[in-house]
Amino acid sequence: MGSVFTPEQVEALTGFRFTDGLGLTGRALCDSSFRKLPEFARDVVTERLGLRPGQWDALSGRREVLAITGVGRWDLPVWLPCVRRQLTGAVRGGWVCGDCDGSCAQVDWDGSITGTVGAAALCFCLV
């Protein structure tokens, strides 16, 4: 049996771009303060880019984030803290999210998460 997600949806679930919009607000990640970033983006900022929250906020305030991140895709490697917590929590605690069954992916059936009905989205248990 094939995946319920298209290749484009799988790509959207396993990575992101800092030019992507935040939910219904549409504000780009690169224009958002560190505390408003989803957990997976905060982990990339601190773990992969080596920036502290204050440094991110200063770059974002000056609209200079893309000079550091570029506009390309950032994959979500399994070693990022947000992914590790999801994977180890599901195994160790015996808990599996009822929305995504532990896959960390869900379909935005009504468009309330992404603004697009039927789009793929990261599950809230991951962010």
Q: Where are the domains of the chain?
A: 7-122
**Bridge partners, 21 (sequence order):** 28
Helices (H), the chain: 7-14, 39-43, 53-61, 65-69, 81-92
pLDDT band at 2 (very low <50, low <70, confident <90, very high): very low
* Higher per-residue pLDDT: 97 or 15: 15
pTM of the model as a whole: 0.59
CB atoms within 10 A of CB 127: 15
